[in-house]
Structure 1
Amino acid sequence: MFPAEFDYERAESVSEGLDLLEQHADADVEILAGGHSLVPAMKTEGREPDVVVDLDVPALDAVNALDDRTVVGALTTYATVADSPAVRATVPLVAETASEVGDLQIRNRGTVGGNLAEAHPGADLPAAALASDATILLRNPDGKREVPVTDFFRGDGETAVERGELLTGVRFPHTDDAGVAYAKKTHPATGYAMVGVAAVVEMSGDGDDGTGGDGDEGTVSSARVAATGAVDRALRLPSVEDALAGEPLDPESIDAAAAEARADIDADRLRSDSYASGEFRGELLETYAARALERAAERVAGDAPTA
């Protein structure tokens, strides 16, 4: 199918993009930043913007690893993130999750900023961003704005990006000392996550002297666990995180924590479609929470490679 007619604008800088948004303030404007969500929606789902602003801004296609944080530009592709030595070394969960997105063609063209701004309820990267405690970087005519990722996702296709703003990048605190993992049940028709769970687990020393010298991996000092696909947005799972706190990351504590995966979600919020009922998604959520935590535990123990 062919999309409805629209006006096409191309921005070669962030400033030019903001100017175009202001110029078309009274129109229905969509940002093109890879196009693997927008173009199919325009062809088959009745999405009919008046104007498409194509971002062609080389400065937003970059990975910058600093002392304690890594900034990924909005136009950086999934493939670049998955293959980036800097991302793999400093925020390995993000590299691992990017490698799970779609297929090779999508990873070569789809972008980090486009994925997060689209806020599809089954997208992979939102879970990784939440578990990584990321910060979303925005630009508007008045300057820069930063939004904690916990405040960013508002619902299916809804985010904290305001009219006239552009998402320019994502800042990730370094998590290279943590156990991380992303476990996903892939939707058979779309490649999105039917359910996906991302985990970042930090450990203290052993329970005796805090040194870890006897080979004991110690107890969980911090855990961030986030899910995608289960409801209308990616979300943290605080009951799972609380159940892990102060516990060893062993099979018993993992099973007990994973069993809490549905504790913060009302049953009627669980998504249902022709492939999976809400109840089944709830069961998947517990299963994949356990799998993510098991892989994180293996990495804490050094028994499995990170991304």
Structure 2
Amino acid sequence: MKTVLFKVALQKYKNTVSILKKGFEQERYRIEQLCRSELSNKPTHKITSVDIAEYRDLRLSEINPRTKKALSPASVRLELSLLSSVFDICRIEWGYCEGNPVTNVRKPKPSPGRERRLTAREEKLILRYAYSHKNKDLYAIVVFALETAMRQGEILNLKWEHLNLKSRIAHLPETKNGSKRDVPLSIAARDVVISMGVKSKGRVFGYTKFGIKSTWRFMLQKLGIEDLHFHDLRHEAISRLFEKGTLEMMEIAAISGHKSLSMLKRYTHLKAQKLVSKLEGNKNKGRQVIIAESHEF
């Protein structure tokens, strides 16, 4: 059994395994956090499930420096998942340990799905601000996000050569879940892209992920809008697809790129007011008129 400090194993994992993943930046950040922990100075083969449980409890008690709130259970679950992957590689491929101490450690309970919906007032304020912004890409990106339900990364990486404006299809050769997909474009989505000036190749939008993040944060502060993430536009778009009532769940999954229908349900927080009229189809129309008339007397 090789005696290797865990921080050495973490760095080796980052340089040989993490670097090959699409989510390398996020995983690199988590590895840096782990390298600052007490676990990092222990020999890999001597780390026990007790050590992992203590690390879990310590992280759950810490405050996120950005949000000033307790670290979310979801964040800790991701760190434990990474730890488990590191120990598996250390055990199977590198011979640094004989077991995986993360296996029997209880994971924090998953947080409930985010239920933030964009209000009509917020949408109006954001679109007005984005339309008058010096970078015209901002307005186009917001409209495109609400019309297509595409992820931020998919929008920013979209290329002209993957757009068929005649058939209104956006081809995504690479997505978060590793599968390519074609996204149908609404007329509004197509028109906002055309308004930017059609090109033969290259990225459609000029923003980087850091640029849109900074612009989005500044815009919300300026408009006085709280707790709205850019990703919430995707939530909103998917929910609106359901509220249209013309698409089946599998069709919406094909648009959004969700492989798991249970995960898709977490994104759909339908407004009850828009569902009332669908409870009994058109049978209730007459009754609604009578009720409305009775209130006049």
| TM value normalised by structure 1 | 0.25
Greater helix fraction, Structure 1 or Structure 2: 2
Higher Cα Rg: structure 1 or 2? 2
Greater strand fraction, Structure 1 or Structure 2: 1
